[in-house]
Structure 1
Amino acid sequence: MEISHSPEQPLELPLDIDSIKGFLDPQEGAALYRLAAEASDLGPCLEVGSYCGKSTVYLGSACKLMGNTLFAVDHHRGSEEHQPGEEYHDRDLFDERSQLMDSFHNFRSNMRAADLEECVVPVVASSAIAARHWNTPLGLVFIDGGHSLEAAMTDYRCWSRHVVPGGYLAIHDIFPNPADGGQAPFEIYRLALASAQFELVEMVKTLGILRRIQ
């Protein structure tokens, strides 16, 4: 079954999505919105890697519409590529006092501007720490955290097991060709399919949408 979405039809989001820092394509965001709405009958949604909240607004807006909850997991210290001297470093998100990246203030401001504070629950911790005692079944898990193989594998192992049968696992930045991008998300995507627990539903640009079948 394909998830119905029309990239040409803009979503009615609570604020200008382009004003939020991030790397999510609008077509991918629209697919996440509709996926979160569909998954809401199965359980709460969870994303790994919120950054400044672009994907959170898409997912959270759908959860708000459906009376559901989105857990947004991120330590807000930035991934490897966000650190000083790296390709995606943003000086505006660097905290001079701590000499560390800190996207949480920006994230929280965006949640307030989008009126999503009542349905988005920020979990300010690493993926492994947040998952340590997690027991809540999830209708949707969206993985868009660190892109090192270690980080991606940790995210997959921590959270994919909490997706309920019929629920969805979405993985961002899947590049089958190494020349197009890093391979860690593609590796966990392949691992999920090889597990025989997930089946591919749809690819939307670099967003892989899988359903748990057992």
Structure 2
Amino acid sequence: MSNATGPSDLPADPRPGTPPSMPADLLQAAHRAKGFMPRAEGIALFETAAEYGSRGPICEIGTYCGKSAVYLGAGARLSGSVVLTVDHHRGSEEIQPGWAHHDPTLVDPRFGKMDSLPTFRCTIAAAGLEEEVIAIVGRSERVAGLWNTPLGMLFIDGGHSEEPVTKDYEGWAPHVVPGGALAFHDVYPDPADGGQAPYRVHQRALASGAFKEVRREGSLRVLERIGPGIG
């Protein structure tokens, strides 16, 4: 996955003060964990969780092995929040056998299927974040259909093809509170850098008028909810 960063035409960050620093032990735990979250993007995720977690629970779509959940959990601890991370743990399309990001050590030989849940549990336990990070094991769209809790922050980083990204946005974004954050990972305006589905859904969120973009870091985009409806 490319980590290319496009030029930003955003205004200067309006948030007051200096962002908090992520504790060194948790930063090291995130560094050790399996996953695809570059350090700078992970720190931006931590800072976003620390800022918006006070407005409600944090929900992550796409857990994998827990790397981004460590960044989010560190922010949740600072803001007094909690992270609910949703994944069926059978792997999205791009990490299945034959794809570039497949990890054969995550295949359960009993069933011949991917299973990242045991690795995730080890990651969170080793980081000491079991009180802050709660796993919800199931398909995002099924869980979204039962969900009714307002969210201070939503991070969409599940399947990266058109259908799963769209379903994640439509199923979960309505739960973000006014003033809450919606973050997307792997947003690449240039098709040469990566897949386009997250970028198109990100653009849809902006076009809805319900969100404004407040931060960019690499392929991470952070939006803040400013209006009703998601479009």
Is TM (by shorter chain) over 0.5?
yes
TM-score by length of 2: 0.88
- Count of matched residue positions in the alignment of Structure 1 and Structure 2: 213
Output the CA distance in 2 between the equivalents of 1:57 and 1:51: 12
Output the CA distance in 1 between the equivalents of 2:52 and 2:29: 25
| Structure 1 stretches lacking a partner, 5+ long | none
- Paired AA for residue 33 in structure 1: F
Deviations 1:73-125 (A, max 9, x none): 11111110111111111001011101100000000011111111112110001
Deviations 1:147-186 (A, max 9, x none): 1100100111111110000000000000001111000100
Please state whether the residue corresponding to 2:100 is helix, strand or coil: coil
Is 1:152 equivalent to 2:189 in the alignment? no
Superposition misfits of 4+ residues, deviation over 3 angstroms: 1-6
Is 1:174 equivalent to 2:187 in the alignment? yes
Residue 136 (structure 1) aligns with: 149
User: Given the alignment, which residue of 50, 71, 75 partners 1:37?
Assistant: 50
Residue 4 (structure 2) aligns with: none
User: Could you say if the C-alpha distance between residues 10 and 120 of structure 1 is closer, same or farther in structure 2, counting changes exceeding 3 Å?
Assistant: closer
Residue 24 (structure 2) aligns with: 12
Alpha-carbon RMSD across the aligned residues, in angstroms, is: 1.7
Deviations 1:175-203 (A, max 9, x none): 00111100010011000001000001011
- Paired AA for residue 182 in structure 1: G
User: Given the alignment, which residue of 93, 98, 106 partners 2:119?
Assistant: 106
1:5–1:31 Cα contact (<8 Å) kept? no
Q: Could you tell me the percent identity over the aligned residues?
A: 48
Aligned-pair distance for 1:13? 3.8
Residue 8 (structure 2) aligns with: none
| Structure 2 stretches lacking a partner, 5+ long | 1-12
Is 1:21 equivalent to 2:51 in the alignment? no
- Paired AA for residue 117 in structure 2: F
User: Given the alignment, which residue of 72, 91, 94 partners 2:85?
Assistant: 72
Output the CA distance in 2 between the equivalents of 1:60 and 1:122: 12
